[in-house]
Chain A
Amino acid sequence: MKSIRSIAAVSAFVAMAVSAQAQQSDVTVAIQLEPPHLDPTSAAAGAIDSVLYTNVFEGLTRFTSTGAVVPALAKSWTISEDGMTYTFALNEGVTFHDGTTMDAEDVKFSLDRARGEDSANAQKALFAGIAEVTVVDPATVQVTLTQANGNFLFNMAWGDAVIVAPESIEGIKQTPIGTGAFKFANWVEGDRIELVRNEAYWGTPAVLDAATFKFISDPTAAFAAMMAQDIDAFAGFPAPENLPLFEADPRFSVMVGSTEGETILSTNNKMPPLDNVKVRRAIAHAINRQEIIDGAMFGVGTPIGTHFAPHNPDYIDLTANSAYDPDLARQLLAEAGLADGFTTTLKLPPPSYARRGGEIIAAQLRAVGIQTEISNLEWAQWLEEVFRGKDYGLTIVSHTEPFDIGIYARPEYYFQYDNAAFQDVITTLTATNDAAARTELLAKAQTMISEEYVNGYLFQLAYPVVADARLKGLWTNQPTQGNPLTEVTWE
């Protein structure tokens, strides 16, 4: 009798387990890089936003998958006539995951912390124009700018501008406490981060009960994990050559979206002979973009002729400035007094676009007489030697921050491009609110860096997402790095 009862209990349990599997209510999303810590407001690492952006942390505004800026914690706002004062009306009844309320004081704290002198924020420029943040009442906050800034609402949508609480700031790097639809649950370093649904979410709650972000950096392991369905989706699939295999398999769906990742042959503008615009132009004409896109990315990617995302309405196609023309490249080298070519370094970070693209570019440059010494670096070495140390001639990297043409106005940035005229354009642009005037200034900025051949402009990085065919609602584009899961459902 007893054994019959236990068998019944076991079979009931099995039945439950089976039905639970039939209606999967969690998701495992793999990404390539693991975050170094979990504070998006104090590090440049995009992997932090890949896990936390709008899932755990929210800002006043946020991006949608198409790149539009929509209200988030601020439900509405008014802008003064002169464009200098923004008054945000906050959503009411918002609480952080630890139960404390989110109000105007927290907004003031977050913005003041980000723009403070000892701020570790990786994008301090976003907050540079803020003169003062005033708490009007708990649900209203007023931000005064030093000058009108047409980008302000856009800036507030970045992962670096999310709202954090003074009560939980201490442990944010290990236990992030935000206001999002998911709560941080667990971090197994080197393997995964687990999130659970926030039952007290102020907005439309998440459909899924739980979500896991798994870190798989090796392209071969990524392929195997996806094929074996150990993971439900891979956001930013690292081996484009394998996409056709997933496309042919009815279990999976493949989406190739756009990113803000301008993949460029970054050039050290202060290192001879690369400080000569003729030499940089010769490099630009020696490069065959289509061959790089086909060879390194297996055809996935859009050619660019300047540092701007092609899906942006203000983008202008300047690829003709650097059309593939090896004869012209040789002639330009001769004009620069380097008819016999020269040798420089080509330092490559780990992603396949860089490693494979580097070999292709090295071959293309060799064809016009430029020799490159290739060295393959790990990310930490790359950041140390190239990004901070500026000890390089050429490197290949994808700049994934949205709307980042402003980096060319920073002479200390690792390209070391120092052009006062360009810096003026960016200063004027920042102070301009009028859409038509902005378009014109952006066109000017794009043309300037294209005609000065600051860097070799290669292609816009595509964003391949491989997912279980039944999974719906994943971000297919990357207007900023992020994988918001609030609207993700199983069919």
Chain B
Amino acid sequence: MENNSRRGFMGKAFGAVAAVGAIGSLFAMKKSWDPLPSVRSAGFTTLDMSTYEEGVMITEKWRGKPIFVLKKTAEMIKAEESDEAAKVRNIKIGNDNFMVAIGLCTHLGCIPAFRKEQNDFLCACHGGQFNASGNVTKVPPPRGFDIPPFKIDGNKLVLGEVGPEWQSMKDNGVTL
């Protein structure tokens, strides 16, 4: 009996040591899979917005992801006059309206292609479509293109930094 309770105690003592060790190692393992600090700190891109031409879709790069930049033409602006969902996504630099968005389909992350004639985006993977403002016109994508965190700095746009314009888009559910 005495032996049994001693063994029981030793079993519990070992269990306690093992549990602490297991939790500690799981924590270390989780942290070892995290993105490295060098990866995190390389996450800013500055765009000079005065260099873009109207109606020409340019792909930039931020955190390894493609960023669609489209300076809207007068025709596009006219087309979205009654489309509130499109207007709230515009980024205004001076008098110009830009669509700036992460160029990955919100379904599973393929890069949709810009179709110049239709002024829209078609994703070849699962057939999703987006209009020139980045809103969905055909499923499966569940929402429009995500807009990367940005800060307006004169003629420049800093991607990766949170400015008031982006914060209000996020608060109003325009982007994630």
> Are the chains A and B members of one assembly?
no
Chain B interface (Cβ < 8 Å from any Cβ of A) = none
